């Protein structure tokens, strides 16, 4: 700890991103990136935008991008907010909607950025234990809180809840904001966007990073009641009005408009996921029912750390957490068919 650090960050444990190796070639199945290239229309749009206009600030309101999202989702544009990745939007939302004197609640096993945000912003939190099957403890998220955060599908489990469950949360928490983090929604789950018109306390957050193959572009968006969008705008404009650069806005808008390409790559990922689940189960792995672009798997005779290290020695990266509840589990991103065949072969050697 540096003596010049503020008291706010002296005891913070920051988020740890997945390894991005630079020294050798790996099959990267550890960061839930898309294994396929972005739409060619995205590259064309970025190339067109990379001209003399770069000397000018980008549109702070991201009007073109918001219009593309609003049209696709059937929303008014004033119900859409864009930011520099969904992580930034979540950080804005934690500041905009949660107060220090009331607990933010979320499942104990979920996206590990949520507790980092509560610590950094000086918020109280209550992490609710999972059900024995790793499904979300929905009843314990209902009432007596200052806000709810639900990743749907959840990470790292991949398990999703239906719209009826999301409505249960919204009805049980009418006076606080319920954030539904839909980073992985496009791989088989049902989006809560259709509920926005009926629930002014619902904020839905999505991203281009997964199903649109644009993790490197850093674009995300939130959808909700216009009052919630204004709250996000208030936080943004108190920090940095120009969070989404000109190239990112152009590329993301093109990705949103290219529906055919989006549908094709998400289907490929889902098909490969099904094959991977079947292949792992044939080798005695327990695999949770995933509706994300990854699987969560455990073997009865080999620890998660043992398999993690063995795969790395064979040039394959996956994700593991040293937490008691999930220490024997691996989160495995879905790569190409060839990537997953290599994974299954390597695991066969290890077990």
Entry field: residues in the chain: 351
CA 217 to chain CA mean position, Å: 15
pLDDT at 1: 63
CA distances from 89 to 25, 95, 97, 179, 330 (A): 33, 10, 12, 11, 28
Distance CA 196, CA 204 (A): 8
Sheet holding 294-298, edge to edge: 286-287, 294-298, 329-333
Q: What is the pLDDT of residue 25?
A: 87
**Positive or negative CA dihedral for 225, 228, 230, 233?**
negative
**pLDDT computed for residue 23 by the predictor:** 67
> From first to last of its 351 residues, what are the pLDDT tens digits of the chain?
688 888 888 888 887 777 777 766 899 999 999 999 999 999 999 999 999 999 999 999 999 999 999 999 999 999 999 999 999 999 999 999 999 999 999 999 999 999 999 999 999 999 999 999 999 999 999 999 999 999 999 999 999 999 999 999 999 999 999 999 999 999 999 999 999 999 999 999 999 999 999 999 999 999 999 999 999 999 999 999 999 999 999 999 999 999 999 999 999 999 999 999 999 999 999 999 999 999 999 999 999 999 999 999 999 999 999 999 999 999 999 999 999 999 999 999 999
Query: What is the per-residue pLDDT for 231?
Result: 98
Per the CB < 8 A criterion, the answer to whether 240 and 158 are in contact is no
**Closest to 180 (Cα-Cα) out of 219, 151, 138:** 151
Query: Which residues, 6+ apart, have CB-to-CB distance to 238 below 8 Å?
Result: none
Q: With contact defined as beta carbons under 8 Å apart, do 37 and 46 qualify?
A: no
Task: Identify the pLDDT of residue 21.
Answer: 77
* Bridge partner residues of 209 (DSSP): none
**In 78-109, which positions are buried (b, 16+ CB within 10 angstroms) versus exposed (e)?**
ebbbbbbbbbbbbbbbbbbbbeeeebbbbbeb
Nearest Cα to Cα of residue 322 among 299, 305, 297, 298: 305
Distance of CA 51 to the CA centre of its chain: 32
Phi, psi of 181, deg, nearest 5:
-90, 105
Give 72-127 as a DSSP string: HHT--GGGEEEESSHHHHHHHHHHHH--TTS-EEEESSS-THHHHHHHHTT--EEE
Q: What does the pLDDT read at residue 8? A: 83
Name the DSSP class of 17. Answer: P
């Amino acid at each position: 700890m540096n003596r010049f650090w503020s008291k706010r960050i002296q005891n913070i444990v920051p988020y740890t991103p997945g390894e991005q190796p630079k020294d050798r070639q790996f099959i990267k199945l550890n960061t839930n990136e898309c294994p396929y290239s972005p739409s060619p229309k995205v590259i064309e749009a970025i190339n067109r935008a990379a001209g003399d206009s770069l000397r000018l600030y980008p549109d702070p309101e991201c009007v073109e991008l918001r219009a593309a999202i609003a049209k696709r989702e059937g929303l008014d544009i004033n119900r859409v907010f864009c930011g520099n990745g969904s992580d930034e939007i979540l950080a804005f939302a934690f500041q905009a909607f949660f107060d220090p004197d009331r607990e933010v609640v979320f499942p104990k096993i979920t996206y590990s950025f949520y507790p980092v945000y509560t610590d950094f912003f000086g918020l109280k939190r209550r992490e609710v234990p999972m059900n024995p099957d790793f499904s979300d403890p929905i009843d314990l998220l209902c009432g007596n809180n200052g806000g709810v955060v639900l990743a749907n599908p959840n990470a790292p489990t991949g398990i999703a809840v239906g719209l009826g469950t999301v409505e249960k949360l919204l009805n049980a928490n009418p006076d606080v904001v319920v954030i539904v983090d839909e980073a992985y929604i496009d791989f088989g789950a049902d989006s809560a966007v259709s509920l926005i018109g009926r629930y002014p306390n619902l904020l839905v957050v999505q991203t281009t990073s997964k199903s649109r193959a644009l993790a490197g572009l850093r674009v995300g968006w939130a959808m909700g009641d216009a009052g919630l969008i204004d709250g996000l705008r208030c936080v943004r404009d108190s920090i940095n009005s120009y969070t989404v650069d000109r190239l990112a806005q152009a590329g993301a808008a093109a990705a949103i408009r290219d529906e055919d390409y989006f549908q094709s790559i998400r289907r490929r990922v889902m098909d490969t996921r099904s094959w991977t689940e079947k292949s792992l189960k044939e080798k005695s792995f327990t695999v949770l029912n995933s509706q994300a672009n990854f699987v969560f798997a455990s073997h009865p005779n080999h620890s998660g750390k043992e398999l993690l290290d063995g795969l790395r020695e064979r040039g394959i990266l996956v994700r593991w957490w040293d937490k008691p509840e999930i220490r024997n589990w691996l989160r495995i991103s879905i790569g190409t068919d060839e990537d997953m065949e290599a994974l299954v072969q390597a695991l066969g050697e290890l077990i």
